Amino acid sequence: MQIIKRSGAESNFDPEKIMAAIRKANNTVPESEQLSEKEIEAIEDKVERNLREMSRAASVEEIQDMVENQLMKYQAYTIARNYITYRYKRAQLRKANSTDKQIMSLLECQNEEVKQENSNKNPTVNSVQRDYMAGEVSKDITKRFLLPEDIVEAHEKGIIHFHDADYFAQHMHNCCLVNLEDMLQNGTVISETMIETPKSFSTACNIATQAIAQIASSQYGGQSISLAHLAPFVDVSRQKARAQVKSELESLNKDFTEEEVNKLAELRVLDEIKRGVQMIQYQVITLMTTNGQAPFVTVFMYIGEAPKGRTRDDLALIIEEMLNQRILGVKNEKGVYITPAFPKLIYVLEEDNIKKDSKYWYLTELAAKCTAKRMVPDYISEKIMKKLKGGDCYTCMGCRSFLTPDRFTAAGVGNIAHALNYVEGQKKYYGRFNQGVVTLNLVDVACTSERDMEKFWEILDERLDLCYRALMARHKRLLGTPSDVAPILWQYGALARLKKGEVIDPLLFNGYSTISLGYAGLCECTKYMTGKSHTDPDATPFALELMHKLNDACAKWKADTNIDFSIYGTPLESTTYKFAKCLQKRFGIIPGVTDKNYITNSYHVHVTEQMSAFEKLKFESQFQELSPGGAISYVEVPNMENNIDAVLSVMQYIYDNIMYAELNTKSDYCQVCGYTGEIQIITDKHGKLVWECPNCGNRDQDKMNVARRTCGYIGTQFWNQGRTQEIKERVLHL
């Protein structure tokens, strides 16, 4: 049986340590008040039985809580008081320097929580360890100096989650939409080097990847770029190729026609598109940013974003190549093609590509094949998005965080970012960003209310006030930030072109940027309060009312501050496990509510609930509308490579019914035996969930390639026990 030590390292359970601690406290009281040795053994036995009933490794803090509870049951009040006092003194000593053991355990790769904190980070790599070391210091400073004590306490108890505390000490924001058009068309500066407007498509792609790396190192969230911003450079290369072909033919004294020149030039252009797209794909995958991982990049593929004619057709050529290369995949260290995690791809479904007789239907068929093979692209419905976003269609920032519709252009705020591609009166999305996220644990609100509906709404108001103050702490941390902290972002076009020394404050108001109130566990919250799933028609009204309350709170905060607060369907990764453990500690095991080692992301249908793909998408669409700051729905499907028509049917359903959705399949490879089927999750002798190749029994996570989508992005096999259980329990929807 395993436990998690305070340092985060995993260790074997030792019952003698419990009895030694009780004996030490026992010896501090008069003999008449002491427990017998038999009673001490009984307490230890009860604690051990409780631990075995848990389907995960307990922390030292949880074990000590169990000991305290047993001492109280034996009415050993003085012993319990001394035990608690000793524990408090030790906690104070640890608090005086709370980072040393954490840092040492991660440096020695013994910290289980850190090893499973991010499925796209390898904690044995020096650059990742360096980032985690800095993160531990930042979290310590944040907890002790930068945040109010009640917000820190709420975060540690799992009442809220203050996201990315490991970056909070610095003046950094969350995610963004890169104004790549401005950077490419008007020049930029990267590492103090002037980069002029590129003279070819391949150069534009190279500049884009260099910018991506710099941007990823200057913020802590995902970034999105649009292929439409690269499309104009295809014709730049075309004209260059035509001139070269003509020159070469003339030098050979060859007679030629314009048609022959165009054909030869087009072959060179297609080859350059192939090389440019390959550059983007391989550079993004192989780049290692300062936080020790590949950039969290989303590539937006929207035919309607380019003007009709040559530029739109060139964009189609780029999209076609992007999809073909992703279908192929990338080679792992064994030379086998596997599914890469990045870049994430988003394909917009629109009138010109959604029907068999539409001009770009061939791209949609290609996208379906890519989804069946590699889990991407994800899909945005132009039709539904325009209904929900004031007539606009635009990409998310990273995996699901959406900007609010542009309201500052109509208000006459003007070009506050000083972008060189700004057009008066034209709505603006590229160059905007998110200030940060705080997530509310809805399950905790419900359990605290003890099913008293009136009390539930009162507690919700109190928790929302807590979230508001936490979000304002994020906002205030960015106030006064000089543009010099990240020149690529604030001075050289990625987000703005401010002067040196100029602060970013104007970009934090008037809806230019957003700040997100996340939420988690709507499913379990509804189950606790109504006794039914939120998919039950009798319980759905409660879930919808709760969502409206969250939106009302954001509307009030926005009116009070002129900051765009927005409801965000949180993509929990490691936090799903943290919240579950905190709920179990505070409220025990409640069937259907706290009996899992995870809680459900945002509004999603529970992963174990049987439902068809179409029913799930239709049901969740109403909650996407109420999550304007970010939402994505998925359907879990088997291998669809031989059933592309079914994939296309789901895509067409997405177009008509929901704004943003994806299909989850499996794409695995065992490096030991070459098995390419689904690598499975099994329970080992310690009760721990581990990945195992069903063909050869390989359990070495470093010798397998597993790809699963867990929070919008594709991740690998390094998930914590809570998320691993959630993946194991998913049912198919098709």
Distance from the Cα of residue 77 to its chain's centroid: 46
Catalytic option among 167, 379, 568, 655: 568
Query: Is 335 a catalytic site residue?
Result: no
Catalytic option among 401, 513, 597, 627: 401
Domain check: are 3 and 121 in the same one?
Answer: no
Among candidate residues 367, 385, 412, the one where a domain is terminated: 367
Cβ–Cβ < 8 Å for 318, 204: no
Q: What number is the average pLDDT over the span 12-35?
A: 87
Residue 643 has pLDDT above 90, yes or no: yes
CB under 8 A, 24+ apart: contacts of 42-50: 43/18, 43/67, 43/70, 43/71, 43/74, 44/15, 44/18, 44/19, 46/70, 47/18, 48/1, 48/13, 48/15, 48/18
Domain check: are 72 and 105 in the same one?
Answer: no
Query: Is 194 a catalytic site residue?
Result: no
For 260, phi and psi rounded to 5 degrees? -65, -40
pLDDT at residue 132, rounded to an integer: 67
CB neighbour class for 371 (10 Å; exposed up to 12, middle 13-18, buried from 19): buried
Catalytic option among 26, 82, 118, 174: 174
CA within 13 Å, CB half, 498: 23
Catalytic option among 176, 397, 611, 704: 397
Q: Could you tell me if residue 373 is inside a domain?
A: no
Which of 8, 5, 264, 4 has its CA nearest to residue 111?
8
Query: Is 288 a catalytic site residue?
Result: no
CA within 13 Å, CB half, 1: 16
708-709 and 714-715: which strand pairing?
antiparallel
Query: Is 573 a catalytic site residue?
Result: yes
Query: Is 174 a catalytic site residue?
Result: yes
Give per-residue pLDDT as tens, 71-91: 888 888 888 888 777 766 666
Nearest 10 degrees: Cα torsion 227, 233, 239, 244:
-100
Domain check: are 336 and 231 in the same one?
Answer: yes
Domain check: are 308 and 323 in the same one?
Answer: yes
* Domain limits for position 65: 1-96
Query: Is 393 a catalytic site residue?
Result: no
In this structure, the chain runs to a length of 734
Residue 46 has pLDDT above 60, yes or no: yes
Catalytic option among 66, 175, 375, 385: 175
Query: Is 77 a catalytic site residue?
Result: no
Catalytic option among 320, 365, 573, 692: 573
Domain check: are 279 and 246 in the same one?
Answer: yes
pLDDT at residue 91, rounded to an integer: 62
Please tell me the distance from the alpha carbon of residue 497 to that of residue 491, in angstroms, as a whole number.
Answer: 4
- Percent of the chain at pLDDT exceeding 90: 70
Among candidate residues 61, 79, 96, the one where a domain is terminated: 96
Strand partners, 3: 11, 58
pLDDT at residue 219, rounded to an integer: 93
- Cβ neighbors of 56 (< 8 A, separation 6 or more) are 581, 597, 687, 721, 722
Catalytic option among 7, 434, 574, 601: 434
Q: Could you tell me if residue 140 is inside a domain?
A: yes
Q: Could you tell me if residue 155 is inside a domain?
A: no
Catalytic option among 393, 399, 640, 659: 399
Q: What number is the average pLDDT over the span 348-354?
A: 98
pTM for the model: 0.87
704-705 and 669-670: which strand pairing?
antiparallel
Domain check: are 248 and 325 in the same one?
Answer: yes
Residue 516 has pLDDT above 70, yes or no: yes
Query: Is 597 a catalytic site residue?
Result: no
Query: Is 726 a catalytic site residue?
Result: no
Give per-residue pLDDT as tens, 112-136: 555 555 545 566 666 666 666 667 7
Q: Which residue's structure tokens are 């792992």?
A: 332
Among candidate residues 96, 116, 133, the one where a domain is terminated: 96
Q: Which residue's structure tokens are 């914590």?
A: 720
- Please give the helix or strand (H or E) that residue 10 lies within, else none: strand 10-12
Q: Could you tell me if residue 89 is inside a domain?
A: yes
pLDDT at residue 573, rounded to an integer: 81
Catalytic option among 158, 222, 436, 712: 712
